[in-house]
Structure 1
């Protein structure tokens, strides 16, 4: 039993390296955005395009739509065999970029790789977890996601002294990590649940068309709408923060690039602590509705302070602490858990791909206009919009929290489709 648990834990951490690199790609772009803007003389539209086609928006959205389908058709393992090679190509192009089109191309390819890997990652972790520790295992995966920004922003604080070459250095670091991750993930076994599903198909079970069933089955439609609702409205805030927050600190608050990165280290460090000690440790044992509500309320308070309190250091620190701890229990962690539970194995990856595409596609549109809105209207208007979006996500989550805690994936599927 101990050997089985250790094997499961190693597999979870190995898969979670994908999340570390995914968030790392987002914040490596964010950390050096002001430096790229200065070095390449970028305007607000070009800054918005970098955000829109990066690992934070359209690039990841398109990748997830393809990656979810591939994970269901050919297995979770096939994604781990090739996805990191695409990621490597993207970050190397960014390192070598000497103009805006080249830089945008690198951001887009990296974003596609991020999106391809996400459905397989979250699905694999949930399918290989025990029924009593699924939130814990998903929490480890989210903890790895939080560590990416902590490390990259910390490195970015030092790298900012070297101008745009420091920004390139962050992507060199990601390239090295991606190569190591690729070597480790090639050794993973296939998901037992996916293998069992394929065996049933070979024995005569009908081969599903995932997108047809998703949009014609009432139960599936309700799950898609619920998951998209809690994640989309939350991610319009979090996604903008993930890529543009250092830019906001510099443009609206007058901070230096190094100060902005240090503030992000504090914020993401609190997120990592919240994810590990609140979501991973308590998510299998305490009311998930209560935990979701506590995280969302903390995030709301953070934006109230930033929006109406000003960009002084007291408000900035309280903002980082409240948002960071709240985000540890934020909608992304619950989305990654619930989206793996509410759909059957035969199209679990595809369903995540569709919902992720909707969420990150919307973030892409938002990213196109965010820098211009910040410049034209200031932080107060944007902050008020952020509060409205967070409140919508909170209401959706606490009203329709799924009753899946402690149940097997097979049991959840049976209950879902008997309704």
Structure 2
């Protein structure tokens, strides 16, 4: 039975699309909690472990998927990508669940990573385009919430299934397959993004009278249109700076945190997983009670700073008091969890949808995700070896520096877009309509061009 499109709209549509983030983040945690078991089972080296991490949903796999999926999303629509993308994802996690050698596991991680990367720009773009302007952060925050619940459940399952060893990890991958299948079924009733459909109807050569076009000519601009305008390049640099430096830390923490805890003196896999449950539990609470409730109503520049500072403090405590035992780790888990819920990723997913015109909104996100996850992948190659060779102190100082740079960029160049329609933001930024539907349609056409970091009541 297929759900009717009219039955999957509003918050139901937002939640069903946001579930991409649950299974995507869940796959990263499934990899993180299983790497030790795979290493013992297949007898692979630390470098091979780094290769698995680097080519997975946490890094290069997702990077390539986003680079391909973003432009396709602008060309063929958001719905097409997030529908078929889930089929690829299900294949990847199923292969992982039944992997019996290193080669099969590597293929599984790469396939899953490609699917994760393709799904991220589609889901974030769709949610932002469908959300009311006065509640856009709340809707986009739903994706961040789902991203947080995925690791929370993943680490809880890892702790509960730890006595089963590798079998428990295989079961976690199977749970992701089941959730993805359910989400795929629900999404069959989703309508296409209204903004993308209207522009496709206006500009596509393959339209039929009274029916939405299946291919958007506007979306053909993709990366070509994206790099043709200085205002886009400026926004790309700012957002890559905010998200990239933060994700350099979060990417390693997400997949290698058990090894960091081990370096800090916690050898028990169950205790490591429970600490991560605390991290992600705090992330869920901070996302819902702080970001989703406040980001539409208060200065986003201030809220970004208030979210970033606890993250820097968390890693500083972990580095300075490495031998502090469980109290130090609990402080770290609480502060890092709060920061992850209100910090760079939540605002990046919001601003990345606001600062680019519809014809290349998903392409921009795909490109940025490619750059950021590639950097994460490069570090993932060496992180396990670097951590083992130099210890937590030196690695921690690098991570603290990255978080500090992200904070500075976000505070200085945070955009002033809160509460504005996407159409109006587009005209403010470009000085004229970019999307076909806006041509000659707005009284704001003469508004001075908007730039990232404009002073105002952000």
Question: Which category describes the TM-score, using the shorter chain as reference length?
Answer: over 0.9
Residue 397 of structure 1, CA deviation: 0.1
Residue 250 of structure 1, CA deviation: 2.6
TM-score, length-scaled by structure 1: 0.97
Report if the CA contact (8 A) 1:77-1:189 is conserved: yes
Find the counterpart in structure 1 of residue 32 from structure 2.
30
Residue range with higher mean Cα deviation, 247-256 or 276-285: 247-256
Choose the corresponding residue for 1:44, options 43, 46, 57.
46
Residue 387 of structure 1, CA deviation: 0.6
The structure richer in helix per residue is 1
Find the counterpart in structure 2 of residue 272 from structure 1.
284
Total equivalences in the alignment:
416
Residue range with higher mean Cα deviation, 97-106 or 121-130: 97-106
Find the counterpart in structure 2 of residue 373 from structure 1.
386
Q: What pairs with 1:75-94 in structure 2 (closer than 5 Å)?
A: 75-94=77-96
Report if the CA contact (8 A) 1:24-1:148 is conserved: yes
Based on CA coordinates, which of the two structures has the bigger radius of gyration? 2
Q: What pairs with 1:270-349 in structure 2 (closer than 5 Å)?
A: 270-311=282-323, 312-349=325-362
Residue 33 of structure 1, CA deviation: 1.7
SS of 1:402's equivalent? coil
Give the distance between the partners of 1:144 and 1:49, measured in 2 at CA.
Answer: 27
Q: What pairs with 1:160-309 in structure 2 (closer than 5 Å)?
A: 160-202=162-204, 207=218, 208-309=220-321
Q: 1:6 to 1:75 in 2, by over 3 A?
A: closer
Residue 6 of structure 1, CA deviation: 9.0
Report if the CA contact (8 A) 1:30-1:247 is conserved: no
**What CA deviation, in whole Å up to 9, does each residue of 1:193-236 have, x standing for no partner?**
00011122137997452212222311000011011110000000
Find the counterpart in structure 2 of residue 398 from structure 1.
411
Moved beyond 6 Å, runs of 4+: 203-206
SS of 2:133's equivalent? coil
SS of 1:133's equivalent? helix
Give the distance between the partners of 1:206 and 1:165, measured in 2 at CA.
Answer: 48
Find the counterpart in structure 1 of residue 125 from structure 2.
123
TM-score, length-scaled by structure 2: 0.89
**What CA deviation, in whole Å up to 9, does each residue of 1:322-353 have, x standing for no partner?**
00011111111111000000001111111100
Aligned Cα RMSD in Å? 1.6
Give the distance between the partners of 2:392 and 2:217, measured in 1 at CA.
Answer: 53
Residue range with higher mean Cα deviation, 399-408 or 32-41: 32-41
Segments of 5+ residues of structure 1 without an aligned counterpart are none
Segments of 5+ residues of structure 2 without an aligned counterpart are 1-5, 208-215, 432-448, 450-458
Give the distance between the partners of 2:360 and 2:225, measured in 1 at CA.
Answer: 9
Report if the CA contact (8 A) 1:91-1:175 is conserved: yes
